[in-house]
Structures are given as C-alpha cells and as structure tokens.
A = this chain, B = another copy of it.
Amino acid sequence: MPKEHALDFERLCREHSLAATHQRRIIFHAVTASPGHYSPEQIYATVRAQIPSISLATVYKNLKTFIEAGILREVSPHHGTLRVDPNLEPHHHLVCRICKSITDIGAKFLDPVRVRRAPPGFNIEQFSVDILGVCSKCARKH
C-alpha cells in the first residue's frame, strides 16, 4: 500500500531525468490511483476532469515516455496491429523485445502452467504464455 504517490512521482521523474510537470503528475495518478489496465482514451477522460485543456496527444506522448522509462508497462507488446496465428495446436510465443518478432514454441516445451490458488469466479479455459526476451538476430546486433 503506497502512502505518498506524489512523492513517488517526483522521485520517479528525477530518477529518469523527466520534468515533473503538472500534466504528467495527473496522468500518472490517473493510471495508478485505481487498479486497472486503461486505454489512452480512458486516461484522457479521467485527466480531463482535472485539466480540461489537456490534449489527447499529450496523454499519448507521456504514456509512451513512461513506458520507455520503465515506469509503466504495456499490457500487450502487439497492440499496434492485428496479428493472425494459424497454429491451433496448444503453443506459446517467444516474443523479441527489440524487433517484436513472434515465434511459436510447442506447449510441451514448457512445464504445464498450474494455478496454485484459483481466481474466484473466473472460469479458466486456456493459458497463453509470452516468453519475453531477445531473439538471436537482435542479440547479434547488440
């Protein structure tokens, strides 16, 4: 339970050499104040209640800035565009952090995912594991 989000925010900005602007403070608060996984539009709506003059572009720019700094994460590394997968067998994905490439890996190459304490009320149908890291091609370039 964090006590002082405001202090956290000032510190975070200093640590990442970001200017602690009013807009950033409110955006950060909108994202972190209540648990959730919000879209830029949702965050924009929340922030506008406090800064009616803010622009959607500012929200986008700062979310991107926060993500690049590692202060926030993006839920899916592939939100940019639809990607179709013809593989209907149980399998998982190797996802390269650098080039965003996706490679299949058969489910049997992993220990089966097992839930220790079941989430109340949620009806589990299947598991999909993203194995995040750096592919061999990108490793060679760095």
Residues of A within 8 A of B (CB): 31-32, 35, 37-41, 43, 63, 66-67, 70, 72-88, 93-94, 96-97, 102-105, 108-111, 113-117, 119-136, 139
Contacts and interface: CB of A to CB of B under 8 A. Distances in A.
A79 B83 contact: yes
9 contacts: A72-B84, A72-B85, A78-B79, A109-B116, A109-B119, A119-B131, A122-B134, A126-B132, A128-B130
A82 B111 contact: no
* Number of this chain's copies in the complex: 2
A103 B80 CA distance: 21
Contact of A84 (B74, B116, B130, B132): B74
Contacts of A80: 79
